[in-house]
Amino acid sequence: MPRTVILDVNETLSDTAALGDVLAGIGAGAATPTGWLAATLRDGFALSLTTGARPFADVARQALRVLLAAEPDLEGSVDDGVERVMAAFAELPVHADVADGLRALATAGHRVVTLSNGSADYARSLLERAGVADAVDAFLSVDDVGVWKPHRDAYAHALSRTGADAKDCTLVAVHPWDLHGARAAGLGTVHLARASDAWPDVFEEPDLRIRALTELRLS
């Protein structure tokens, strides 16, 4: 039976490995793409829970500024470093399995949408560069909700926009916290375990684990 497949974007679809080379190239050897994005999420969650959500790009830029300011061997100014990394982030490729995986889901009759803590335009551009934006029915963002995932309202936004019932939707993501939030909202969950299938015991287990999007089979 066709399902609505909701895909996370950052790190789930986008391949951030190239950011490591950019960080090393500006002398920020201690910083990592994963560390930067984790700091961005930490700060974004804090804002969402307190004074109100801010756009992902704004939070990411400030988290990056803090990280680069702590780098003793940074080449050039912090501002220049921030601009170089943000420019690279805007042009990231997708993981090698994404294009074929999206095509397979669409061919199988599933409705595919993205749901990101980042902007809908970023997700659209990412998949346009990969030549598979046409396989996605809608690009959704928490910008239209005012809270970041994993708040229940973020997933409710996807259900409202697609008109689907939670029981007929599956979230695919690399992040356990995102999948835990989706499960709490009643969605099915698939852990795309790109780096590791390790799972925090404090979170609800996913329905399925896969290592590549091309492995996903839904019934």
Structural domains of the chain, ranges and CATH numbers in brackets: 4-14+93-215 (3.40.50.1000), 16-91 (1.10.150)
The DSSP bridge partners found for residue 113 are 6, 138
Please name the amino acid found at residue 37. Answer: L
Calpha distance 156→61 (Å, rounded): 28
Return the half-sphere exposure (C-beta side, CA atoms, 13 A cut-off) of residue 39.
17
**What pLDDT is stored for residue 124 in this prediction?**
99
Calpha distance 56→129 (Å, rounded): 20
Structure tokens at 47: 């804002």
**What pLDDT is stored for residue 2 in this prediction?**
85
Q: What is the pLDDT along the chain (219 residues), one digit of tens a residue?
A: 789 999 999 999 999 999 999 999 999 988 999 999 999 999 999 999 999 999 999 999 999 999 999 999 999 999 999 999 999 999 999 999 999 999 999 999 999 999 999 999 999 999 999 999 999 999 999 999 999 999 999 999 999 999 999 999 999 999 999 999 999 999 999 999 998 889 999 999 999 999 999 999 997
Residue 101, Cβ density class (10 Å: 0-12 exposed, 13-18 middle, ≥19 buried): buried
pTM for the model stands at 0.97
Query: Do 208 and 193 form a contact (C-beta atoms < 8 A)?
Result: no
